[in-house]
Amino acid sequence: MAGDDHAKFKNDQGVPEIRIGVKEFKCAGASAPHDHPHVYLDMGAADTILCPYCATLFRYDDRLGPREADPPDCVFSDIIDD
């Protein structure tokens, strides 16, 4: 979606939990071609949410910035290097 500014996260390592610094984001599953639809998730008042596609548990961590994750390589980027 053009103009979409939500942070995206992926789980190439297959870790059971990813800590992130936002409560509204998109999960991509894994890097292409193993990704799933980039689904919008909103934790609301909760501190955790489970992705309905890949079952990754995302946990809000206020020590992280909006585009940070633990593990760090779970941040997804749409930017393609030439």
In a domain? residue 43:
yes
In a domain? residue 80:
no
Residue 68 CA to residue 7 CA, distance in Å, equals 9
Number of domains in the chain: 1
In a domain? residue 17:
yes
Q: Look up residue 19 and give its two tokens.
A: 């800590």
pLDDT in tens, 22-38: 999 999 999 999 999 99
pLDDT in tens, 3-13: 578 999 999 99
Q: How far is CA 12 from CA 23, 45, 80, in A?
A: 21, 27, 17
In a domain? residue 2:
no
Count CA atoms closer than 13 A to 67's CA, side-chain side. 6
This prediction's pTM: 0.89
CATH of the domain at 50: 2.60.260.40
In a domain? residue 79:
no
Q: Show the domain range for 47.
A: 8-74
